[in-house]
Each structure stands twice: as C-alpha cells, then as structure tokens.
C-alpha cells in the first residue's frame, strides 16, 4: 500500500483489487447521485444500481488502471485511467470520484496523481457546467483543448469539454 499522508495518518491510495469492486461501485453510484443531480434526470440517478456497477468493476479492475483512496480501511474514492478513447491522445483519465464525506480531505490530488503517474499526453472529459471539477483539473495542470461533445443520459443532453495535460 502506498501511503500518501504523513506517517501515522490513515489515508492511503493504492491500486484497486478485485475485492474492492463493490466499494468502488458504491462510490461510483453515490457520487453520481450527488454530483450530477440537476444535470441528469432524477429517475436515471435514483435507479443507478450498485449491483450492476459492481459487475462492471469486477470486469475492469483486473486489467489495472483503477486506484482507490482509503480512509483507514474504507474505500472513499477511486480513479480509473488507461488508453485514450480519442485518436489524438495516448492516455485518458476516465473517472475520479470521492464520496462527499471525503471532499476536502486532501485525497483527490494524490488519487489523481497515482492514476496519472505513468501517463504522458493525457485527456479527460468533464461536464461543461461542473466548475468544482474543472477547477480541480486545472490545479493538476490540465488545460482546455477546445474539444467538446454532447452525451445523452436518459432525457438529458449534457455538454462536455475536454482537458489535456502533456
């Protein structure tokens, strides 16, 4: 386990293990229900399934690229990164989420840096109307690269902007 806090502190970041899948799924669903409320339909958010996300993470975690943030032994966040889905970049930060109870804990930056540590040119997509996340990525050295896209989530169409860090 790689400690990210001074000795004696209980907050750590490490590669996810298969046994973390249900906890990662819980963080995934819980944070979506808070962060995207008002951006996506309530019925979509209210019906997200931890069980379905657990199955997804059980498939993804063994390939690597998924990191977890722990407060003691509790998974309070995760980040996922890997090859870019865009043709003009080598790597992509797919997701980084922390439970609201872990916001301001100091875990987000080390979690992101762990996921990004071996990546060169990396991109990420974020909701255009998510100033908190955008400020966080900018603090990590990401800059807007003028690429945009729209995504459909239920009855909502949301605009995303792309950030890049070389």
Counting residues of the chain whose pLDDT is more than 70, the rounded percentage is 95
Q: For residue 77, is it within any domain?
A: yes
Of the pLDDT bands very low, low, confident and very high (cuts 50, 70, 90), residue 155 is: confident
Per-residue pLDDT tens for 101-120? 998 888 899 999 999 988 88
Number of domains forming the structure of the chain: 1
Q: What is the pLDDT of residue 9?
A: 53
Q: For residue 161, is it within any domain?
A: no
Per-residue pLDDT tens for 58-83? 999 999 999 999 999 999 999 999 99
Token pair 């690229």: residue: 65
User: 45: closest CA among 148, 131, 155, 161?
Assistant: 155
Which H/E stretch holds residue 165?
A: strand 156-165
Q: What is the pLDDT of residue 153?
A: 83
Q: For residue 59, is it within any domain?
A: yes
Q: Quick check: 147 pLDDT over 60?
A: yes
Q: Quick check: 4 pLDDT over 80?
A: no
Q: What is the pLDDT averaged over residues 131-137?
A: 93
Q: For residue 164, is it within any domain?
A: no
Q: For residue 115, is it within any domain?
A: yes
Please count the other Cβ atoms lying within 10 Å of the Cβ belonging to residue 9.
12
Q: What is the pLDDT of residue 149?
A: 95
Counting residues of the chain whose pLDDT is more than 90, the rounded percentage is 73
Which H/E stretch holds residue 159?
A: strand 156-165
Whether the predicted model's global pTM rises above the 0.85 cut: yes
CATH number of the domain residue 75 falls in: 3.40.630.30
Of the pLDDT bands very low, low, confident and very high (cuts 50, 70, 90), residue 2 is: very low
Q: What is the pLDDT of residue 7?
A: 39
Domain extent at residue 41: 2-119
Q: What is the pLDDT of residue 105?
A: 87
Q: For residue 137, is it within any domain?
A: no
Q: What is the pLDDT of residue 76?
A: 96
Q: What is the pLDDT of residue 166?
A: 85
How do 143-153 and 156-165 pair as beta strands?
antiparallel
Q: For residue 126, is it within any domain?
A: no
Q: Quick check: 3 pLDDT over 70?
A: no
Q: For residue 71, is it within any domain?
A: yes
């Amino acid at each position: 386990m790689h400690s990210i806090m001074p000795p004696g502190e209980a907050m750590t970041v490490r590669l996810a293990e298969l046994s973390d899948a249900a906890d990662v799924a819980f963080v995934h669903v819980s944070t979506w229900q808070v962060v995207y409320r008002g951006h996506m339909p309530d019925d979509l958010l209210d019906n997200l399934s931890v069980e379905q996300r657990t199955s997804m993470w059980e498939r993804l975690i063994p390939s690597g690229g998924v990191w977890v943030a722990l407060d003691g032994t509790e998974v309070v966040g995760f980040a996922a990164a890997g090859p870019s889905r865009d043709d003009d970049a080598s790597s992509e930060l797919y997701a980084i989420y922390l439970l609201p109870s872990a916001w301001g804990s100091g875990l987000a930056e080390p979690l992101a840096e762990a996921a990004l540590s071996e990546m060169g040119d990396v991109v990420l997509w974020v909701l255009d109307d998510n100033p908190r996340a955008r400020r966080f990525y900018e603090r990590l050295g990401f800059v807007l690269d003028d690429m945009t896209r729209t995504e459909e989530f239920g009855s909502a169409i949301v605009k995303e902007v792309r950030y890049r860090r070389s």
